[in-house]
Amino acid sequence: MPVGALWMAYRMRWKRRRFLLRIWRKRRQIALVQNRTAAIRPKMILCFATIRNEMARLPYFLQHYRQLGIGHFLIVDNGSDDGSAAYLAAQPDVSLWSTQHSYRLARFGMDWLGWLQWQYGHRHWCLTVDADELLTFPYADSRDLGDLTRHLEAGGITSFGAIMLDLYPKGPIAKARHDPQSDPLDTLAWFDAGNYREKIHCIYQNLWIQGGVRDRVFFAAQPERAPTLSKVPLVHWHWRHVYVSSTHQMLPRRLNHVFDRAQDRRVTGVLLHTKFLPDIMAKSQEECIRRQHFENSRLYTGYHQQLAQGPDLWCPQSQRYDGWAQLVALGLMSKGDWDEDDAM
C-alpha cells in the first residue's frame, strides 16, 4: 500500500477513536425518560432519531417505520415544547431520552445517538433518520426492512445508501394544509427530478450529491453551499462504527461505499424528505434565532428567512411523486442485483 494511503488510514483510525471518546464524554448530556430497551431482541431492526417539536410528523413517522419492520425506536428529544416528548413516552415501542444541550455542539445529535448506538446497536441493523425522513426502497410496497437487510447480508454488504429527496406542495407552503395523522405525501406530492450532481469526497470516499429544490430555489447563486443529499442511513452496527457528519459520512470509510454508479449492482434507497410542511415557517423563524442546524449558520440565514415566508417551490418542471418504481426509472435509486423474484 502506498505511504500516502497508509498515512490516511492511520489518520482515519485516530479520528474514529476521537469521535468515540467524544461520544462517551457527551453521554451525560442526555437523561433517560422512558426505558423500554429490555424489549429489544436479537435480529431486531432498530431506529435512532433526534427530534424537536415534530408532532406534525411523528404519528405517521412511527406508522411508516413500524410497517417497514422497525422493532424498537430509540429517540432523543431536544427540548420539545409541542407535546412530542409526552407522545413518544406513551408509545410502547419507544425508549426516550431528553436533553436541553446544544444540537449543533453535539454534532447535530450524532454524539447523543452515537452513545445509544454504542450501547444498544451492536450487531443490529440500525436505521438513523430524522423525523422528516421517510425511507423507501425497491419493492417497499411489498417487502420490508427485514427482506432488504437479508438481501444485503447475502451479498456481504453492511451499509445501505439513500438520496434525500425534497418533497413540496404545489403552491405556496403558507397555504398548504396537513393533518398530523395523515401521510405527509398527501400534502407534499412534488419533487425536482433531474438537477443533481455528484462527486467523490476526497477524504471519506462517499458519493457527495447535491441538487434538488433547495439548490434550485435557495442556493442558485452559491450551489456549492447547497445541502448534501447523499446519506448512509442503514448500517449493520458495530460498536466501533461512528457517523462523522449527520448520516452523510461514516468511519470506517468502507461503510461509505454504498453507491455503485459504474455497474449499478448495489441496491439503494430514497429518503422522502417532508421538511416543507407548513410548520417549516415557524421552525425557520426559530432557527434564525437558535442557529442550531448548520456548521456556519450565517450562510443559511437568508435561506431560513425565505422559508419563514412560506414560498412557492413548485415549477413547471416539477414531477408528481408516484412510488418507488418511478424513482428507479429516474435513476434516483437502484434495484441493483435485487430482482423481483429475489424480493418475493
Q: Which pLDDT score is estimated for 1?
A: 66
Percentage of residues in the chain with pLDDT exceeding 90?
Answer: 81
Angle at the Cα of 299 from the Cα atoms of 168 and 206, rounded to 5 degrees: 70
Nearest of 320, 319, 293 to residue 307 by alpha carbon: 293
* C-beta separation of 128 from 136 below 8 A: no
CA 317 to chain centre: 26
> What are the φ/ψ torsions at residue 45 (nearest 5 degrees)?
-90, 130
Range 223-227, long-range pairs (CB < 8 A, 24+ positions): 225/299, 227/164
Q: Which pLDDT score is estimated for 302?
A: 76
> What are the φ/ψ torsions at residue 119 (nearest 5 degrees)?
-80, -40
The pLDDT tens digits for 51-63 are 999 999 999 999 9
Place of cell 410542511: 277
Cα separation, 38 vs 175, in Å, equals: 44
Helices then strands, counting H and E runs in the chain, come out as 10, 15
User: pLDDT averaged over the chain?
Assistant: 93
Domain extent for 166: 3-343
**295 pLDDT tier (thresholds 50, 70, 90):** low
Percentage of residues in the chain with pLDDT exceeding 70?
Answer: 94
> Across residues 272-284, what is the average pLDDT?
91
Q: Which pLDDT score is estimated for 147?
A: 98
Characterise 266 by phi-psi region: left (phi > 0), alpha (psi -120 to 50), beta (else): beta
> Across residues 80-97, what is the average pLDDT?
98
**143 pLDDT tier (thresholds 50, 70, 90):** very high
Say what the pTM is. 0.95
> Across residues 37-56, what is the average pLDDT?
97
Characterise 264 by phi-psi region: left (phi > 0), alpha (psi -120 to 50), beta (else): left
**263 pLDDT tier (thresholds 50, 70, 90):** confident
> Quick check: 340 pLDDT over 80?
no
> Across residues 227-243, what is the average pLDDT?
97
Q: Which pLDDT score is estimated for 217?
A: 95
**76 pLDDT tier (thresholds 50, 70, 90):** very high
DSSP code at position 168 = B
> Quick check: 296 pLDDT over 90?
no
Dihedral sign for Cα 147, 96, 231, 1, please.
negative
**344 pLDDT tier (thresholds 50, 70, 90):** low
Q: Which pLDDT score is estimated for 2?
A: 78
Nearby residues of 270 by Cβ (< 8 Å), 6 or more positions away: 135, 136, 137, 162, 163, 164, 165, 324, 327, 332, 333
Q: Considering its fold, how many domains does the chain have in total? A: 1
Q: Which pLDDT score is estimated for 288?
A: 66
> Quick check: 168 pLDDT over 70?
yes
Angle at the Cα of 251 from the Cα atoms of 333 and 196, rounded to 5 degrees: 30
